Amino acid sequence: MLKRLEVKIIVLLALILAVMIAVYGWWTGSRQQSVYIQALSDNLRVLSYNHADDAASYIVTQEYAGLESHMMNAASMPDVLSIQVTEPDGHLLCNIKRSSRNTLPTLSYAARSIPVPSAPKPDLRRDGNQLVSWAPIFAGTHLGWVRMALSLETANQLQAATWNSSLQIGALWIMVGTLLMIVVVKRPLRAVRELSSFAQDLQDHKGAQVSVQRGVYEIDLLADALNHSSTQLRDAEQRLLAEQERLTVTLQSIGDGVIATDTGSRIMLLNQIAEELTGWSEGEAKGAELGQVLKLGTEEEHDEAMAQLDCVLQARRTLELPGQHLLVSKSGARRTVTANGAPIIDSSGQLAGMVLVIRDVTEKAAIEAEKRGLAQQLAQSQKMEAVGQLAGGVAHDFNNMLGVIIGHAELALLRTDTSGEMHDRLKEILDAAKRSADITRQLLAFSRQQHAEPKVLDLNETIARMLKMLHRLIGEDVDLSWSPGFNVSKVRIDPSQLDQIMANLCVNARDAIAGVGTINIYTENVTLSHHDQARMVDLEPGDYVMLVVADSGAGMTREVIDRIFEPFFSTKALGRGTGLGLATVFGIVKQNGGNIEVDSEPGHGATFRIYLPAVHDVAQETKPEGARPVGGTETILLVEDEAAIMDIGTTILSGLGYTVYAAGSPEQAISIAADDSKVIDLLLTDIIMPGMNGRDLSERLLSSRPGLKCLFMSGYTADVIAERGKVEGDMCFLQKPFTMQTLAAKVREALGGSTPTN
C-alpha cells in the first residue's frame, strides 16, 4: 500500500505535521520551565538575603537555638530541600535537610563542615535538579553563609504537562489534517500517478510507442501532445540506439587505439586497443587527465607531445605528432607508436573535445630497423667487395714485377762481395721488394682473395706462442693481459693469417693508448643463433670461437667505426700507418668464414670481437720432419707466359741443380712433353695463361705422363684462380711473388720432399 503515490504523500505530510507539533510542544514546555525557574531564582535570592539578615542577629547574640528554630520554620516551604548556616570557614552552625517535598525537614548533625565560596559574595547556581543560593552573613564583618537549596521538580512537572498537552492537541490536528489531505489531494495525485506510469513505461519500453490513459481532466490536455511525442521519441530512440551500436562496434573493430577527451583534456572514451596500449580500462581512465594515461617517451618528450596536442584544442586543427614515440603503459610495457589528434566539433559548431588515434608500430619499427641494419651491412659489404676487386686486379701484374725484382736481386746478391757497397744496395732493393710484396698480401687479405693454407689450430696455444712477439710490438708502457678460455674449440686458419690478425689488432690498440694502458686478450666458446644474424648477416648460426682484443685507449666515434675497415683509411698522423691494418684483419676473418664486431666510445677504449667457426672432431695433423731441401737434380718443365718471370725462374732452378725446360705458352709445353726422350719429373706452370689454363695443361700432360708431379703458381687473386684456373685447395700452389728460398722449398715439396743423391 505504501507504494501508492497518494499514500506516500499523505504519510509524509502527516509525519511533517507531527514533527512540527512535537517541536512546538517541546519548545513551549522548555520556555515555561525557563520562566518558572527564573521566577523561582528571584524568590530564592530574596529569601536567602532575608534569612542571612536574620541569621546575623542570632549569631551576634549567640542564640543558636533560636537560629535553628527560625531556619526550621523557613525550611517548611514545599520546594526547600535544605538550609545550612556556616561560619566563614564552612563550619556548620545549623544544618536542616529533607529528602523530598513530601517529607518533613529535620536537623542533621552528621556533617561538621561543608565547602563554601572563596569570596564573600552572593552566588546563585543550578546544581543538577536543585537551585542553590549562597548569601553571605554580614554584621559589620563577614560572619558566615546561608545556603538554601530549592527543588526543580515542580519545573520539570510543568514542562512534562505542557509536552503532553501539546502531543494530545497535535494528534487531534494530525487526524483532522490527514482527512483533509485525503479529500484535497486525491484527484491531483491520480493525475500525477498517471504521468508517473507514463514516464515508467517510457523508461521500460525504450524504442516502443507508449500512450497516456485518458479520463483525468488535469492531464487530458496533455494526453494528445504526449501521445504524439511518444511516437516521435520512439523513432528517435531507435535511431539513437542503432547509431550507438554501430559506433561501438566500429570503435572496437578499429585496429588503432582511439581516445576521446573533453575540452579540458579529460578522457571520456577509450576503445579496446587503447586500453591494451595504455594499460588503463575505460572505467579507470574516465575523467582522468590525458597526460596521466598517455605516457609518451621521456618526461621532456612527454611534455612536448602534450603541448602539441593542446594545439589541437586551441587551434581547432588536425595534428600528427612527428616521428615515432615510445608509449609506456600503466604496467611498464613499452610499445612504439604514432599518434595524431583531431578536434571534435558538434552540430552547432562548438568545440566538444578531441579524438586521438594511436597506431602500434612496434613490429614495423623493429623490421625497419633490421632492414636499415641489413642495408648498411650490404652497402659496407659491397663497398669492401668493390675495393677488393680493385686490389685483386692490380695484384697480378704487381706480383709479376715484384717476382722479377726479387729474383734478380737475390741472384745478384749471390755474385757480389758481402762487404761491398753493391751488396748493400742490392739488399736494400730486395728488402723494398719484400715490403712491397707484404703490402700486396695485405691488400689480398683485405679482399679475402689471398691464397691461404689453413690448418686446424688450437687458438690458445697459438696465441700463447705469440705473446713474446706481441710484447715487443706494443712496448713496455702497455700492459698485455692474456686470459685463455677453458676448453676452447679448435679453428681452421692459416697460421700466418692469425699472426697478421694479432699483430695488426695489438699495434692498433697500442697506437690508441696515450702513455700507460692495458690490452686484454681472451678467448671463449660461443653459440650464435638466428637472432644474432640481425647484426652479423653473413654469419651462419652455429658454434664459434670468440677472440677478443680490448684496449683502454682513446676510443672511437660512430663515424670512425663506420669507416674503420676501409683500406687506406686511418686516423693516425701522416707516416704513422698505411690504413691497411684493420682492413687486412677484416679480409682474413671474412676469408675464413668468420665475422668481426667493434664496440667503442670516445674515452672508453675499443673492443674487437672476432668470431671464427669452431672445428670439432678433426684428425690430428702431422708435420713433416727434417730440413727443408734446397735443390735437386730432377727435370722441371717451367711454363710461364711472362718472359721475365720465365727467365728468372729458369735461372734460379738451374742454379739449384735442376734441369729446366722453359716454355712460354701451353702449346710449347705440350710440344716439349711430346718428346718421349725427355724425362720430366715436375710441371711448374702458371695458372692463368692465354689459350689454356694451368689445370687443363696438367690434365693434358698427365694423360701421357701419369707419374708427372705438378706445382701451380700465380700472381692472381684467389677468386680469379678458383674461377678460371680450376685449382682445388689441396693442390700444391706457389703464390707470386716468391723468393729463391720459397721456390726451392715448394719444388722439393711438390717432388715429394726427398733430397736426391748425386
Question: Degrees (nearest 5) of the Cα angle 568, 573, 577?
Answer: 45
C-alpha cell at 459: 687458438
**Are 680 and 751 spatial neighbours (Cβ–Cβ below 8 Å)?**
no
C-alpha cell at 92: 556548620
Q: What percent of the chain has pLDDT over 70?
A: 79
- Do 23 and 154 fall within a single domain? yes
Q: Which of 230-244, 320-334, 419-433 is the least confident region?
A: 230-244
Confidence (pLDDT) at 385: 66
Backbone phi, then psi, for 152, in 5-degree steps? -100, 20
Range of the structural domain that residue 654 is part of? 635-750
Q: Which residue has the higher pLDDT, 536 or 502?
A: 502
- Do 550 and 650 fall within a single domain? no
- Do 460 and 605 fall within a single domain? yes
Query: Mean of the pLDDT values across residues 358-377?
Result: 80
Q: Is residue 216 part of a domain?
A: no
3 state DSSP class of 580: coil
Q: Is residue 242 part of a domain?
A: no
Q: What is the pLDDT of residues 519-535, one digit of tens each?
A: 999 999 998 887 776 67
- Do 603 and 664 fall within a single domain? no
Q: Cell 689480398 maps to which residue?
A: 444
Q: Is residue 608 part of a domain?
A: yes
- Could you tell me the CA-to-CA distances from 127 to 85, 131, 150, 294 in Å, in that order? 19, 6, 10, 69
Top mean-pLDDT range of 13-27, 452-466, 694-708:
694-708
- Do 478 and 535 fall within a single domain? yes
The dihedral built from the CA positions of residue 337, 342, 343 and 344, taken in this order, carries a sign that is negative
Q: Which of 78-87, 110-119, 380-389, 551-560 is the least confident region?
A: 380-389
CATH of the domain at 43: 3.30.450
Confidence (pLDDT) at 625: 40
Whether the pLDDT of residue 2 is over 50: the answer is no
- Euclidean distance between CA atoms 328 and 294, whole angstroms: 8
Which of 328, 360, 392 is the last residue in one of the domains? 360
Q: Is residue 276 part of a domain?
A: yes
DSSP state of 453: -
- Euclidean distance between CA atoms 473 and 469, whole angstroms: 6
- Could you tell me the CA-to-CA distances from 108 to 21, 64, 135 in Å, in that order? 48, 14, 20
Confidence (pLDDT) at 241: 77
Q: Is residue 74 part of a domain?
A: yes
| pLDDT range class, residue 611, cuts 50, 70, 90 | very high
Q: Is residue 212 part of a domain?
A: no
- Do 474 and 571 fall within a single domain? yes
C-alpha cell at 267: 578522457
Confidence (pLDDT) at 150: 85
Q: What is the pLDDT of residues 71-101, one digit of tens each?
A: 888 888 878 888 989 989 889 889 888 877 7
Q: Which residues are registered as beta bridge partners of 95? A: 84
Confidence (pLDDT) at 448: 47
Query: Mean of the pLDDT values across residues 249-272?
Result: 83
Which of 135, 158, 181 is the last residue in one of the domains? 158
- Burial (Cβ within 10 Å: 0-12, 13-18, ≥19) of residue 523: buried
Query: Mean of the pLDDT values across residues 161-174?
Result: 74
C-alpha cell at 437: 710484396
Total domain count, the chain: 4
- Euclidean distance between CA atoms 474 and 454, whole angstroms: 27
3 state DSSP class of 610: strand
- Euclidean distance between CA atoms 493 and 592, whole angstroms: 7
Q: Which residues are registered as beta bridge partners of 483? A: 522
Q: What is the pLDDT of residues 30-76, one digit of tens each?
A: 777 677 778 778 887 888 888 888 888 888 888 888 888 888 888 88
Which of 158, 176, 200 is the last residue in one of the domains? 158
Element (H, E) at 557: none
Confidence (pLDDT) at 365: 81
**Are 175 and 202 spatial neighbours (Cβ–Cβ below 8 Å)?**
no
What spatial distance separates the first Cα and last Cα of the chain, rounded to whole Å?
Answer: 142
Whether the pLDDT of residue 375 is over 50: the answer is yes
Confidence (pLDDT) at 430: 81
Confidence (pLDDT) at 571: 66
C-alpha cell at 365: 619499427
| pLDDT range class, residue 758, cuts 50, 70, 90 | very low
Q: Which residues, in sequence order, are CB contacts of 548 under 8 Å at separation 6+? A: 520, 521, 522, 523, 524, 607, 608, 609, 610
Q: Is residue 183 part of a domain?
A: no
CATH of the domain at 693: 3.40.50.2300
Which of 12, 1, 29 shows the shortest CA–CA distance to 177?
A: 12
> Mean pLDDT of all residues in the chain?
79
Q: What percent of the chain has pLDDT over 90?
A: 11
- Do 104 and 55 fall within a single domain? yes
Q: Which residues are registered as beta bridge partners of 695? A: none
CATH of the domain at 602: 3.30.565.10
- Do 463 and 610 fall within a single domain? yes
Confidence (pLDDT) at 80: 85
- Do 459 and 601 fall within a single domain? yes
Which of 369, 376, 432, 359 shows the shortest CA–CA distance to 402?
A: 432
Backbone phi, then psi, for 665, in 5-degree steps? -155, 160
Confidence (pLDDT) at 628: 43
Whether the pLDDT of residue 734 is over 80: the answer is yes
E strands, 207-294, in order? 257-261, 267-270
- Do 676 and 537 fall within a single domain? no
HSE-CB at 714 with a 13 A cutoff on CA atoms is 27
Query: Mean of the pLDDT values across residues 453-476?
Result: 84
**Are 611 and 592 spatial neighbours (Cβ–Cβ below 8 Å)?**
no
Confidence (pLDDT) at 622: 46
Whether the pLDDT of residue 218 is over 80: the answer is no
C-alpha cell at 311: 594545439
**Are 416 and 426 spatial neighbours (Cβ–Cβ below 8 Å)?**
yes
Q: What is the pLDDT of residues 665-684, one digit of tens each?
A: 999 999 999 988 899 999 99
- Do 306 and 334 fall within a single domain? yes
Whether the pLDDT of residue 180 is over 80: the answer is no
Q: Is residue 422 part of a domain?
A: no
- Do 259 and 319 fall within a single domain? yes
| pLDDT range class, residue 1, cuts 50, 70, 90 | very low
**Are 315 and 296 spatial neighbours (Cβ–Cβ below 8 Å)?**
no
Query: Mean of the pLDDT values across residues 312-340?
Result: 87
3 state DSSP class of 757: coil
Confidence (pLDDT) at 624: 44
**Are 711 and 682 spatial neighbours (Cβ–Cβ below 8 Å)?**
yes
Confidence (pLDDT) at 213: 56
Question: Degrees (nearest 5) of the Cα angle 397, 400, 406?
Answer: 140
Q: What is the pLDDT of residues 616-632, one digit of tens each?
A: 866 555 444 434 447 88
